[in-house]
Amino acid sequence: MTVTEIECRIADSFNETFESSSIRSSLRLQAKKPDSGIVRVSRGLYAMSRQSTSRFEYGKATLIQGDAFAVMASLEESSIQAIVTDPPYGLVEYKKSQVSKLRKGQGGVWRIPPSFDGAKRSPLPRFTTLTNADREKIVEFFGRFGEQALRVLVPGANIVVATNPLVSHLVAGALESAGLEPRGQLVRLVQTMRGGDRPKGFESEYPDVSVMPRSQFEPWVIMRKPMDETTGRNLAEYGTGGWRRIDDDHPFGDVIKSAPTRKEERAIANHPSLKPQKLMRQIVRAALPLGMGMILDPFAGSGSTLAAAESLGYSSLGIEQDSEYYNLACNAIPKLTALED
C-alpha cells in the first residue's frame, strides 16, 4: 500500500485522521525491525510480510526466515559490503511441490545420480529441460534481484553468484541490465555427474557418443555495484572496490580447485545444494578486500556462506524461505563453522 492508501484506510476504519508524516515515520521504524512483518518495498510503499519471520543469531551471523525479496526490501540502503550466494537458478526446483517430491525421493525435476566410485552423490536439478518461458522467468527473477542488490549494496561491492553452464549467461545479463557491472567469472573446478551420458535409448548404437560434455566446472558470476570514483576512495569510504589477496605473493584467482562437498559436511547439513566450506571460505574471504563489512546471502540454504563468514570473523546476514532448511541451517551453522578446512 502507498502511505496515502494507508491514510485513507485509517480514516475510514477509525473515523480519525493521522498526519502522513507520522504514519511514514512509524512504518519506517517498523520496517527496520526484521520481525515486525512490515517491509519497505520502495519510497512510500510498504507491504505486510505474509510469513512471520524467525531469526537466528550465532556470533556475527544472523539468519532470517523469509522471502529474499521481502527481507531485502526491508534492509537499509547501502548497508551491505558484499553478496555471496547460490540462488535457485532453475527457479522451480525449490518450489514447495518439487522440494516435497525430492524429500519423498520421487525425483520431479531432481535427478538422483547413481553412486560413483563407492560415493553417494547429492541429487541434482535437471536444467536441460528449461523452456523459453523458464528462461524468461530466470531473467525476470535476476532482474528483480539485481535491483534489490543495487539498492542495499555500497558502491564498489562485489556480488558472487553460483550458477551452472546452462544459465550463467542469463544470470549475468539480467544482473547487468539491472545496473550492476560484470567483473568476470569464477571457475570452481569440480567434477559433477552432469553430462557425459550416451544418447538415451541409443547407447549400444552410438557407444562413442555422449550427448553433452561431462561438466567439469561450475561457473560463478562476478558482478560489482558501480564504484564511486576511484578504487582508493571506495576502499577508504566503504571498504570495497577490490578483492582480499591470499597473501603477499598471491592475489585471489578466478579458478579454484574444488571437490564435491565432503561426507562429513553433508552429515551436518543434508541440503541438496550444500557447498563445501573450503570453497566458501576462499570466496567469502576474498569478497571483502579489507576483511571488514557485512556479507549477505539471500538464498542461504543450510547456511554454508554464513558459516564460512563466521569462521573468518566476518559479519553476515542470511535469508532462507523454507522452514525445514532454515531449521537445518540454525543447527548446521555452528557445526560447519567449527570444522577445520
Ligand X SMILES: C[S@@+](CC[C@H](N)C(=O)[O-])C[C@H]1O[C@@H](n2cnc3c(N)ncnc32)[C@H](O)[C@@H]1O
Q: Answer whether 121's CB lies under 8 Å from 110's CB.
A: no
Q: What angle do CA 267, 273, 275 make, to 5 degrees?
A: 75
Per the listing, cell 551491505 goes with: 80
DSSP code per residue over 78-138: T-EEEEEE---TTSSTTSHHHHHHHHTT--TTEE-PPPBTTBPPPPEE--TT--HHHHHHH
Distance CA(100)–CA(273), nearest Å, equals 15
Q: Answer whether 282's CB lies under 8 Å from 276's CB.
A: no
Task: Decide if residue 258 touches ligand X (CB under 6 A).
Answer: no
Residue type, 52: S
Q: Which is nearer to ligand X, 151 or 271 (CB)?
A: 271
Which part of the chain contacts ligand X (CB under 6 A), choosing from 23-31, 52-60, 186-194, 268-276?
A: 268-276
Instruction: Report the residue from 322, 327, 335, 339 that binds ligand X according to the rule CB under 6 A.
Output: 322
DSSP code per residue over 274-323: PPPHHHHHHHHHHHSTTS-SEEEESS-TTTHHHHHHHHHT-EEEEEE--H
Task: Decide if residue 141 touches ligand X (CB under 6 A).
Answer: no
Largest CA distance in the chain: 80
Instruction: Report the residue from 102, 193, 274, 309 that binds ligand X according to the rule CB under 6 A.
Output: 274
Closest distance of CB 38 from ligand X, Å = 18
- Give the three-class secondary structure for 216: coil
String of contacts with ligand X for each residue 25-64, x by CB under 6 A: ----------------------------------------
Instruction: Report the residue from 49, 74, 158, 304 that binds ligand X according to the rule CB under 6 A.
Output: 304
Closest distance of CB 297 from ligand X, Å = 8
Instruction: Report the residue from 40, 151, 224, 271 that binds ligand X according to the rule CB under 6 A.
Output: 271
Task: Decide if residue 293 touches ligand X (CB under 6 A).
Answer: no
Task: Decide if residue 68 touches ligand X (CB under 6 A).
Answer: yes
Instruction: Report the residue from 74, 295, 320, 330 that binds ligand X according to the rule CB under 6 A.
Output: 320
- Give the three-class secondary structure for 8: helix
Task: Decide if residue 151 touches ligand X (CB under 6 A).
Answer: no
Task: Decide if residue 325 touches ligand X (CB under 6 A).
Answer: yes
Which residues make up the interface to ligand X (CB under 6 A)?
67-68, 86-88, 94, 271, 273-275, 299, 301-302, 304, 319-322, 325
